[in-house]
Every structure is written in structure tokens, then in C-alpha cells.
Amino acid sequence: MSKLPETFTSNNSMACYILLVPIYSFFFLIGYKPFNIISNLNVEMGRFAFYASMLISILLVVVMISRFAMRLLRERLKLTYSSFFIWEFFEVFTASMFFTLFIWLITGRNTPYVSILPNVSLISFFVLIFPYTILALISELSHKSSIVEKLQNNIDRYANGIIGADKSPIHFLDENKAMKLVVTAESLLYIVASDNYVDIHYLSNGRITKYSLRNTMRSIEELCMQNNLLRCHRSYIVNLKKVKIIQKDKTEGLFAELDTTGSPHIPISKKYADQVIKAFSMLND
């Protein structure tokens, strides 16, 4: 299942859920009074408006706590689309439980709590399905738009020689987004993961030089892909333009041999073998 895009848990998305869902729900309850809710509660219109306000206040608190928790736990839980919608289901159900408790108390506790819960849950899901669906679609559209914008930006940068060309400068940032190293694409040989660092190996005055950067392979992988540097192993990224031969033997398995004297063989794991061989073949057609 695909990882949940950041647009679903961004600050803007949180603000929309926290503000728009309760506002929509309030006006929906006041305007449409679904499922004969007034007669079921046996209250006057004026008092119903007050009760509706209390219900919406409950919803506001539940959504606020839920969304802040989602924001804090997003990376730890590795949210996907399915887990996101399951989270939303339980968010609505939790609100329904508190709605039921409120209604049970104001109606004199004459009807058992468990008898009220199904009807209240049905009304809650009916009322909230529209705003939740719309906000999810907006988050997905925003995600797709950001992808298109990023692709267009990369196309423009390729066209202008900013990336992709041999002389293109590659700016390496550390985990705090501070620029630490700039090398041309033609100088960079390979990158190796080393605990919380990545070791960048490049040519300087004809000699292989290593620079240790505090960052992760995942963080720099997209930057590398823009400059013909491709992930070939869990711990390695290689410059395809520096690869002379890809071969396999009994001891080392599949590996890439670079055209630079003194460089080691770069391992290629099964996971990345197909894409590396395909990219290497296309580059040398």
C-alpha cells in the first residue's frame, strides 16, 4: 500500500479538518435536522441550537486531539492510505461515543447508552462523510499538483543544464538543510551509507576523495537520481556514467566496475539489479 502523502497531514490539512468539519456539521444540523433529530431529542428549536453547539464543541475537541496525534505519530506509524481512512473511521466513531454520552445525559438516562449509540453513530457518519471525503480529495489533488510542479521544475532544470549535465553542480545538504558540499556530476563516483552518515566519494585533482555528510541515503536519493546517480544497493548509490562494466562472479555476486583507477567494486543487490542494468543499457545505447 502506498505511503500517505504529506499533504494529508500538513498544517493546512490539519487546520481544514479542525475548523471546517465542525463548522460544516453545525450548519448541516441546524439547516437540515437529519433523521428527525429534534423530535428524537424532544427539545425546542432554540434549545436544539444550544445542544447542537455542544455536540459540535465535542467534535472540535475530538478532531483536534486526533489530528495532532496523527501529525506527531505519522512517521512512527508509517501511515498509508488504508491506515489513514481507518484512523478517520475511529475518529468519527470516537466522536459518536461522546455524542451518545452527551445525549444520554441530557435525556435523563431513560434509554440505555448502548441503544442510543447505533443511531447516533449512523447520523454522525452520514453528516461527516461529505466533509471528510472532500478534504481527502483536496489533499490528494494537492499532492498530485506538487508532483506535477516538481516534474516541470526538473524538466526546466534539465533544459537549462542545471541538473543532468556532466558539469551540473550537485549541492549536498546535511540533515539540518545546511549546504556542506558542492561537486560536479562528472566528479562524483559513488556514495556509501555509514550509520548516520553518507560517505561521498568523488574525484579531486585526479584523486579519490571522501566526504562524510550527516544525512541518510533516503534523503539524498532523489537529488542523486536527477544526476544519473542511481541506488544500486541498500548502502550504495553509484554514478552510472562512471560505470565501465557490470558483471557477476561467484564471490562478489553482481557488481559494477568503475572506470576510475583505485575505486572498489560497487555491489548491486537483487532488489535494484533490474533498474540498474536497464538504466546502464539505455545510457550506453
| pLDDT tens per residue, range 129-141 | 999 999 999 999 9
pLDDT digits (tens, 9 = 90+) for 108-166: 788 889 988 988 898 889 889 999 999 999 999 998 998 788 767 655 655 455 445 55
Round to whole Å and give the CA distance between 210 and 262. Answer: 13
Evaluate if residue 17 carries a pLDDT over 50. yes
pLDDT digits (tens, 9 = 90+) for 84-103: 999 999 999 999 999 999 88
Say what the pLDDT of residue 184 is. 86
Cell of 195: 550509520
Q: What percent of the chain has pLDDT over 70?
A: 88
pLDDT band at 39 (very low <50, low <70, confident <90, very high): low
What are the residues facing 207 on neighbouring strands?
204
pLDDT digits (tens, 9 = 90+) for 228-284: 788 999 999 999 889 999 998 888 889 999 989 889 999 999 989 998 898 888 877
The residue whose grid cell reads 562472479 is 249
Round to whole Å and give the CA distance between 165 and 226. Answer: 10
Structural domains in the chain? Answer: 6-157 (no CATH), 169-283 (2.40.50.1020)
Give the amino acid at 101. Answer: L
Q: Are 231 and 221 in contact (CB under 8 A)?
A: yes
Q: Are 121 and 98 in contact (CB under 8 A)?
A: no
pLDDT band at 23 (very low <50, low <70, confident <90, very high): very high
pLDDT band at 28 (very low <50, low <70, confident <90, very high): confident
Query: What is the reported pTM?
Result: 0.60
Round to whole Å and give the CA distance between 69 and 238. Answer: 39
Average pLDDT of 29-49? 65
Average pLDDT of 67-85? 87
Mean pLDDT, the chain, rounded, equals 85
Round to whole Å and give the CA distance between 227 and 186. Answer: 9
Round to whole Å and give the CA distance between 45 and 30. Answer: 9
pLDDT band at 206 (very low <50, low <70, confident <90, very high): confident
